[in-house]
Every structure is written in C-alpha cells, then in structure tokens.
Amino acid sequence: MTDRKEGDELLESLTRVGEAIRGACSKQIGVLDSSFLCQSLSVLKCQEPEMVAPTASLRSVVEMLRARSIGCVLVGDSTGKLLGIFSERDLLVKALVADPVPWDEPIERFMTAEPVAEMPTTTVAFALTLMSQGGFRHLPLIDQDGVPIGIVSIKDIVDFIVSTLMQDLEGLEA
C-alpha cells in the first residue's frame, strides 16, 4: 500500500513540476536559461537505442554494452514495444550479486520493467526532473505507440550545455 501511495505522491509532484515548468518558460530561472530548459528533447543529439529481446542472455547483453561502450540497452517485444531497460546499475545490483553469476539467464530477469519513458516533445527541464527524482541516468524516448525511437542520457544533456557554452564563449572572443 505504501508503494502505491508513494507512487501517487510522486506522480502528483511531477504533474505540479510540469505545470510550473510550462509557466516558467517565459522567465529566467535558476542557473540555466529557461529558453534552453523549455526546449524539447529533440534539440539534443539523441542516441539510437540498442534493443534486445527479453530472452537475450545476460552474457550477450553485457558483451554488447562493453563492445559498444554504452551504459544501457532497451528490452522490447517482437513488435518493438518497450518492455524494460537494462543498465550498468542493474548489472551491479541484480546480476553480479548472485554466486555464481547467472550469465545464461534471460535479461528480462534483471531488467527494470516498465521504465519511465517520454516522447521527444518533452522539455529538457521535465526530463531532468524525472531523471533526478527517479534516480536514473537514461530516459527512453518513445513514439505514440510506445516504440523506442531514441534514448537521452544525463551525459547528452551535459554535453549539449557544454557545447553551447563553448560556442557562446568563442563568439565573445571575436
């Protein structure tokens, strides 16, 4: 019962945050310009998601993470609909604690099911809030049918901020 109450409270909190963000988009707030925070996630160079089937083995997914130097994969059904996400944190917290490590088990056993996902029209500010409140670093981007079309990481947002800042600073030198 507590989990449901906490979930309802979080949803209510995020709804209030979303409304506040919409109202603040015409004002200067915090350390970042609201014109950046109020842009949609589509301004970022989102990565294409790496997808695996729920039956993929833990070993094959970890090898994929290592070979592609990525921090997570999305898990989808045969139609491509998002079922879960498997990240480095899932590896550490759920898989590597077993002795022996169940390398041949399906990834669905270790993934985070029904992850938070948003559409690319979501604002940067709302995405940052979701990631901060939820304690995760990757946000799947989905289309209206729930099919993943991208993934945004905290690093993508920081890289965009730094790149824009550097461009602005270089422009001041001229």
The predicted-structure confidence for 90-111, as pLDDT tens digits, reads as follows 999 999 999 999 999 999 999 9
Per the CB < 8 A criterion, the answer to whether 139 and 151 are in contact is yes
CATH number listed for the domain at residues 40-173: 3.10.580.10
Q: Where are the domains of the chain?
A: 40-173
pLDDT band at 9 (very low <50, low <70, confident <90, very high): confident
Helix (H, G, I), strand (E, B) or coil at 155: helix
Question: Which among 105, 106, 65, 104 has a CA at the least distance from the CA of 83?
Answer: 106
Residue 139, phi then psi, degrees to nearest 5? -125, 110
Average pLDDT over the chain, rounded to an integer: 87
Per the CB < 8 A criterion, the answer to whether 120 and 46 are in contact is yes
Kindly report, residue by residue over 10-40, the tens digit of the pLDDT: 777 777 766 766 666 655 555 566 677 788 9
Cis before residue 100, ω within 30 degrees of 0? yes
- The pTM for the full model equals 0.79
